[in-house]
Amino acid sequence: MASEVYEPFRKGLPPLRKYWRTLWNRRAFIAEYSRSELHEQHFDSVFGQVWLILNPLLLSGVYFVLIVIIGGHSDTTRYGHLTACLFLFYLVANTLQGGVKSVTAGQRLILNTAFPRIMLPISATVVAIFKFIPTLLIFAILRTVLGLPVGWQMLWAVPIILITVIFSLGAAMLISCINVYFRDIANFLPYFTRTLLYLSPILWEASAIKPQLRKIELVNPLFSILDSWSRAVVHAQQPHGSALVIAAAWALGIFLLGTYFFLSREREFAVRV
């Protein structure tokens, strides 16, 4: 006979093996939740999709004009870099934006149903990935029009996207959990992402940075990710090994920290939301 045993957590963590098994069994929920979320935001309609692509495209246009005015000159590679990096940045920003309220918005479900709470930030990440996919297509068209170089090194995009997703998921778990304790974190988030945008090599190229400011490279997790991304998909060059290692280390670190933080706090959600 099926039997469930509920006992106090050891070291504040739920029994992990059982947790992952339950999570795997609920993968249909993640798919369905993401689908209904996209539906609710109208991203399954034609105009929703158009907006999804138009928004970062317009933004990159605005920034490009800005660069031309401030810098005095610019070229097609610069525009390609700007667009590609904005698209990847939006994957991170959308994950955080969707993830931050994922736990507090799931209040009713959390109070009434036993399920691995981690499903909520995971679903938010899946939604952001679905929003990211069409922009990849647009960039492929754009780089052909701009006549950017082509090469097998562009395949580095795959591991870089994977690193970005792991990083974003970790950050989403972290921030969704913090939002339970401080509900105004969601309001601070736009300032935070905006700052991150300017501190990342998006409007400027990583190679153009002054040596005195090189330290940004180490404290901004997106620095290495975006630098590698730009080399791979814009310049069709092999990314620096050191940048890839730093990016992977950041992603793994944030992911492990986020998972641990989330799992150790999850028990409290039902009494805190």
Partner 1 sequence: MSNSIHTTGDLAVSVQHLGLTYTTTIDRRPTLKSRLKSMGRGTKQTRVVRALDDVMLDVHYGSVLGVVGSNGAGKSTLMRVISGILPPSQGKVEVFGKVSTLLALGVGFSPSLSGRENVQLGGLAAGMTRREIEDHFDEIAEFAELGDAIDAPMRTYSSGMYARLAFSVAVTVKPDILIVDEALSTGDAKFKEKSLNKIKELRSDSRALILVSHALGTITDICNEVVWLDKGKLIQRGNPDEVVDAYAKFLHVGKSAAINEDV
> Residue numbers of the site for partner 1 (CB under 8 A)?
1-9, 14, 22, 25-26, 28-29, 32-33, 36, 40, 105-106, 108-115, 119, 181-185, 188, 267-268, 270-272
User: Which lies closer to partner 1 via its Cβ, residue 112 or residue 212?
Assistant: 112
User: Which lies closer to partner 1 via its Cβ, residue 1 or residue 145?
Assistant: 1
* Cα separation, 107 vs 184, whole angstroms: 16
User: Which lies closer to partner 1 via its Cβ, residue 40 or residue 241?
Assistant: 40
* Cα separation, 161 vs 203, whole angstroms: 20
Q: Which residues does residue 10 pair with via DSSP β-bridges, in sequence order?
A: 13
Q: Which residues does residue 13 pair with via DSSP β-bridges, in sequence order?
A: 10
User: Which lies closer to partner 1 via its Cβ, residue 193 or residue 238?
Assistant: 193
Q: What's the min distance (Å) between Cβ of 33 and partner 1?
A: 6
User: Which lies closer to partner 1 via its Cβ, residue 73 or residue 108?
Assistant: 108
Q: What's the min distance (Å) between Cβ of 216 and partner 1?
A: 25
Rg (CA), the chain: 20
Buried b (16+ CB within 10 A) or exposed e, 213-225: eeeebeebbbbbb
Q: What's the min distance (Å) between Cβ of 147 and partner 1?
A: 45
The answer to whether 234 and 79 have CB atoms below 8 angstroms apart is no
Q: What's the min distance (Å) between Cβ of 115 and partner 1?
A: 5
User: Which lies closer to partner 1 via its Cβ, residue 28 or residue 213?
Assistant: 28
* Cα separation, 196 vs 211, whole angstroms: 19
- The secondary structure of residue 13, as a DSSP letter, is B
Q: What's the min distance (Å) between Cβ of 25 and partner 1?
A: 6
Q: What's the min distance (Å) between Cβ of 10 and partner 1?
A: 11
Q: Which of 117, 99, 98 is nearest to 107 (CA)?
A: 117
The answer to whether 227 and 240 have CB atoms below 8 angstroms apart is yes
Burial category of 207 from C-beta neighbours within 10 Å (exposed 0-12, middle 13-18, buried 19 and up): exposed
